[in-house]
Structure 1
Amino acid sequence: MIDLRRLHVLRAVEHYGTVTAAARALHLTTSAASQQVRQLARELGVDLLEPQGRGVRLTPAARSLITHADAIQIRWDQAELDLRADHDDPAGLLRVTGFPMAVSVLLAPMAARLRERHPRLSVRIQEAVVPEHFDLLFEGGADLAVVEATSRNPPIGDARFDQQPLLDDPFDLVVPDTHRLAGRERVDLAEAAREDWIAPVEDSPCRMQVLSACGAAGFTPDIVHLAMDWNVMAHLVTHGLGVALIPRLAHLTPHLPITRVRCTGDPHRKLLTCTRAGGHERPAVAAALDVLRELAPTAVA
């Protein structure tokens, strides 16, 4: 019989990419994690890891086994759900995670509404960044995440996760109040092609979206300042140091002498909800998703 604990270690190696990273996530030593995989390989009589440069990679047999392991995990979660089927009222602990803006604008009001509607449900929020959301879901440290759609995410078809659209968050061109474009109802980004630009830092999920929006308008922005925080970008705009594309969900410091101008073509980023496969059927998660869908239309108005 397959040892499910060893199977979980193999799944972690596939998820995190290396034995060392998997061991760290599972609070094991690297040698202990390697030993678990080797023992599993001996039990099955197949090779599960093979050398690749200085590291190792999963064999085709290992990848086939992981496909079955993912299905086992889904069935196990479904079994737990079935055992609780007689308790449809959301109760217990719901762990949610999201990037900073999602926590502020969506998850915090969601938690407040759930507290009013379902007093027996306790919500715990953890701020995180990509790819930590998916790690938390994989490890069982979170039940629900609100994430940005980025190239770093697992594919939509990844059987371990259920990723669903939540809302489109438009980017506005942010300029000083005295800027020539400030009085416009809508602007073509090409009209700002010769401006100095303020952009997200290189490892920000939104950087590529900003560059893509400018590229679609036919230019590459001349980026002179970089920032991690949208409010930092807004303050740089305030001092006339450039223009910026900032998501409408971003709540900027009040009373700054800046103007948000809507953009032709509505460049935007997509926000998703994500659970482990089948997780949306849990009463607590389903209640949270209902509230998020209520909040989404007004969040970007």
Structure 2
Amino acid sequence: MIDTGALQALAAVEHHGTVAAASEALGFSPSAVSQQIKKLERQTGFPVLERRGRGVLLTERGMALAAYGRKLLAELEELESTLLTDPTKPQGRIRMAAFSTACRGLVAPMLAALAADGAELDVHVLAEDPREAIARVAAAEADIGIVHDWSSVPLPEPEHLVLEWICEDVADLLVHRSHPLAAREAVGAADLLDERWVSSTRGAICHEALLRIFADLGRVPDIRVYDPDFATHVALVEQAVVVALVPRLGRPTLPEGVVAVPVDDPLPARRVGIVHRRTMTGSPGIQHVARLLRAIAASR
């Protein structure tokens, strides 16, 4: 009988391209993943991987086996998350991927609510940019994700995932109190053309959203600092060396020297949502966590 753990290892190698990357994603050593692949080859009687330079490729029969394996693993996951669980008692381990400000603004109060209601859920959280979170959930490396997109930068939505938007998160311009724009009731993109900026790292959705704000004006923002942490953005604005566009979700209390000014042309807003695999839709644990996240989002 073919071992499901071996099928999972093969599917991970196919998705990530190397044994090393697959082992990191699965949380095993490369030798353990290699042993699973060898076990699968013994069980099937044919090679599923072939060497190509320093990497590996799936053989034709290996690709077919990986495709069948994904279907089988999905059906097993659906069985375990529904028929084999008590719908009145959410329990077990849940792996969550969430972007940083969601960890502060949504996940932290959700974990507190879980502790208070006594649910037997063991939640592990990894901070990830939304695209990486989507990929982890799609590859079954996370069970649920909290993601965001901006109207100008949509997220990919694989067919086997369910994405539910739960709130909108607006970003404000942060400037030093001495800045000429600090006293304005609102500003537009045209008011910001000559500013020096701090931005999220290149390739991050928030960085792309900042670029899109100026796209219609035929300009690129003058970005002087790249940093993934919005707390760093606030600290730099406090020193009056840059301005920043920072969402409200999870934003810490601003220092006395920093002012938040609304932006209305265009309105910089992102949707925040929950994503999970369709096979986990009936999971009592996923449903319980999703209910808590919806309630927290609505209260904010």
TM-score, normalised by the number of residues in structure 2: 0.81
Partner of 1:88: 87
Does residue 283 of structure 1 match 2:284?
yes
> Which AA in structure 2 matches 1:225?
V
The 10-residue stretch of structure 1 (41-50 or 246-255) with the greater mean CA deviation from structure 2:
41-50
Distance 2:165 2:194 in 1: 35
Structure 2 stretches lacking a partner, 5+ long: none
Distance 1:67 1:270 in 2: 33
The 10-residue stretch of structure 1 (221-230 or 120-129) with the greater mean CA deviation from structure 2:
120-129
Shift of 1:40: 2.9
Does residue 104 of structure 1 match 2:107?
no
Distance 1:29 1:95 in 2: 22
Partner of 2:244: 244
Cα-to-partner distance string for 1:125-176 (whole Å, 9 max, x where unaligned)? 4243243785488566x543323459xx9942253x4443333322222122
Does residue 128 of structure 1 match 2:127?
yes
Distance 2:120 2:38 in 1: 42
Partner of 1:258: 258
> Which AA in structure 2 matches 1:119?
G
Distance 1:2 1:149 in 2: 40
CA RMSD of aligned residues (A): 3.2
Q: Aligned ranges for residues 33-52 of structure 1 at < 5 Å?
A: 33-41=33-41, 43-44=43-44, 48-52=48-52
Distance 1:96 1:32 in 2: 22
The 10-residue stretch of structure 1 (72-81 or 93-102) with the greater mean CA deviation from structure 2:
93-102
Does residue 176 of structure 1 match 2:176?
yes
Q: Aligned ranges for residues 122-201 of structure 1 at < 5 Å?
A: 122-130=121-129, 131=132, 135=136, 138=139, 143-149=143-149, 155-157=156-158, 159=160, 161-201=161-201
Structure 1 stretches lacking a partner, 5+ long: none
Cα-to-partner distance string for 1:79-138 (whole Å, 9 max, x where unaligned)? 2234345x322332453532332122111222333444x434345342432437854885
Query: CA 1:21/1:234 → structure 2, altered by over 3 Å: closer, same or farther?
Result: same
Identical counterparts, % of pairs:
29
Partner of 1:119: 118
> Which AA in structure 1 matches 2:280?
G
Q: Verify the 8 A CA contact 2:172 2:246 in the aligned structure 1.
A: yes
Q: Verify the 8 A CA contact 1:115 1:122 in the aligned structure 2.
A: no
TM-score, normalised by the number of residues in structure 1: 0.81
SS of the aligned residue for 2:254 comes to: coil
Q: Report the count of equivalent residues.
A: 293
